[in-house]
Amino acid sequence: MEEFITSNLDRYQWLLDRFTMQPQPKVTPNSDSSLDNLVCARIRPLAEEEVAAGLPASIFIRSREPGTFDAHELRHAVRGKPVLRSSAYTVDRSYGPDISAETIYEDAVQHLVPWVWGGGIGTLFAYGQTGSGKTFTISGIEKLAAKDLLEGNLEGDRKMFISMTEFAGNSAFDLLNGRRAISVLEDAFGNTQLAGALEHEVKAVSEVLAHIEYATKFRLTEATKRNDTSSRSHAVCRIRIEIHDIPGAEDGFLYLVDLAGSEAARDRDTHEPQRMKEAKEINVSLSVLKDCIRGKVEADVLIGTQTKKKPYVPFRQSALTKVLKHVFDPAGTRVCKNVIMACVNPCLLDISASRNTLRYAEMLRVFVPQVKGVK
């Protein structure tokens, strides 16, 4: 396939022209997006080596319809010249290759900060294939969120704690403790506990940055030692806000989740049993995550209503969603705000993976009909 594309590159000249001629839109929200379940997609810039190889970008944001991506793919024709197949995907917010972390943060994530400070639950998931910019996006946002939480003049007597864990299949590791193995347990009350995971109190942004740096280092060294585990595991940064000035207030939680590479779920070329097992587990966890997000959005709308409808939230079906139990538990009474950031490499060679990513993102846009009695 790669060879087919590179030998037909000249047919892409018009795309290249279009890309250079048409500036991509600045951030403009899609009008019907709700901040409670915000589905975004970010295109990363082409890498230097992709540009050097003459590979063009082939995913663009529509200038008149920000929120909609056009993806172009070169296909074999039965006879004659290869043909271009185009498809379109729509999300709530789209970010082109020149949009900064600060802009994305302000536009899509910042609203979670006062929410979790006040005892709410907020999540940010980065989804996409390996190399699409998930870690880049999450680490940029982690720093900005920490700065806002600790230096943003938020009121109240609160304490902030951080933990960083990694999930591969049903195993879990503490990234703030030398990647020590920890267990995911359910206690007698049905709450998920991470036995052995360390949680650190943080009082200054520099402390948060030091923890992130330490965790990233462990994730990366393990990854090189053990055949790139980082693309085949989920990393979860959890920030917990303890509220001392409101009696009985529940803790606020902000989860920043760097998901396993979406291509790992399709890793079927391997004959290694361990790899096949991992691929299956990743597949399950990403598809369970999708069902949980969809189900929970519905459940949140139904909170406080008389309806007997029970949305389907299969959070017990994967270690990742079990750990995020209080995000997804349909029996829970807390609304959770989600932000999903689909990360996309626009390079022509990655087009089919990028289309899968955008398709997954589209499925996370849930439109729940208004129910009577909901504020």
For every residue of 136-169, DSSP letters joined together read HHHHHHHHHHHHHHHHS---SSEEEEEEEEEEET
Angle between helix axes 205-225 and 134-151 (nearest 10 degrees) is 160
Query: On the CB side of 319, how many CA atoms lie within 13 Å of its CA?
Result: 24
Taking a C-beta distance cutoff of 8 angstroms, is the pair 350, 59 a contact? no
- Give CA–CA dist 299/315, Å, rounded: 13
The gap from C-alpha 347 to its chain's centroid, in whole angstroms, comes to 20
Rule CB under 5 A: is residue 357 a binding residue for Mg ion? no
Rounded to the nearest whole angstrom, what is the least distance from the CB of residue 130 to ligand ADP in the complex? 4
Residue facing ligand ADP at closest CB distance: 133
Rounded to the nearest whole angstrom, what is the least distance from the CB of residue 44 to Mg ion in the complex? 12
Nearer to Mg ion, 343 or 348 (CB): 343
Nearer to Mg ion, 126 or 358 (CB): 126
Nearer to Mg ion, 135 or 338 (CB): 135
- Give CA–CA dist 125/236, Å, rounded: 9
State the binding partner of 338 from ligand ADP, Mg ion, none, CB within 5 to 8 A by kind: none
- Tokens 């991506």 locate to 69
Taking a C-beta distance cutoff of 8 angstroms, is the pair 374, 301 a contact? yes
Strand 121-127, strand 336-344: pairing: parallel
Rounded to the nearest whole angstrom, what is the least distance from the CB of residue 152 to ligand ADP in the complex? 24
- Tokens 């999300």 locate to 91
- Give CA–CA dist 158/251, Å, rounded: 10
- Tokens 């929200």 locate to 29
By the criterion CB under 6 A, which residues form the site for ligand ADP?
A: 44-45, 47, 128, 130-136, 231, 343
State the binding partner of 131 from ligand ADP, Mg ion, none, CB within 5 to 8 A by kind: ligand ADP
Rounded to the nearest whole angstrom, what is the least distance from the CB of residue 102 to ligand ADP in the complex? 12
Rule CB under 5 A: is residue 354 a binding residue for Mg ion? no
- Give CA–CA dist 89/30, Å, rounded: 13
Rule CB under 5 A: is residue 345 a binding residue for Mg ion? no
Rule CB under 5 A: is residue 94 a binding residue for Mg ion? no
Rg (Cα) of the chain, in Å, rounded?
21
Rule CB under 5 A: is residue 262 a binding residue for Mg ion? no
State the binding partner of 44 from ligand ADP, Mg ion, none, CB within 5 to 8 A by kind: ligand ADP
Stretch that binds Mg ion, among 130-138, 287-295, 302-310, 324-332 (CB under 5 A): 130-138
Residue facing Mg ion at closest CB distance: 135
Nearer to Mg ion, 115 or 167 (CB): 167
Is the Cα torsion angle 209, 94, 260, 19 positive or negative in sign? Answer: negative
Stretch that binds Mg ion, among 23-31, 127-135, 195-203, 347-355 (CB under 5 A): 127-135
Nearer to ligand ADP, 43 or 302 (CB): 43
Rule CB under 5 A: is residue 132 a binding residue for Mg ion? no
- Give CA–CA dist 14/120, Å, rounded: 48
Q: Name which of 339, 315, 314, 310 is nearest 325 in CA terms.
A: 315
Stretch that binds Mg ion, among 77-85, 104-112, 134-142, 187-195 (CB under 5 A): 134-142
The one-letter amino acid at 222: E
Stretch that binds Mg ion, among 1-9, 128-136, 241-249, 283-291 (CB under 5 A): 128-136
For residue 347, what are the β-bridge partners? 57
Nearer to ligand ADP, 284 or 353 (CB): 353
Rounded to the nearest whole angstrom, what is the least distance from the CB of residue 258 to Mg ion in the complex? 6
- Give CA–CA dist 284/38, Å, rounded: 23
Nearer to ligand ADP, 127 or 173 (CB): 127
Nearer to ligand ADP, 228 or 242 (CB): 228
State the binding partner of 133 from ligand ADP, Mg ion, none, CB within 5 to 8 A by kind: ligand ADP
Rule CB under 5 A: is residue 135 a binding residue for Mg ion? yes
Question: Which residues are at the interface with Mg ion (CB under 5 A)?
Answer: 134-135
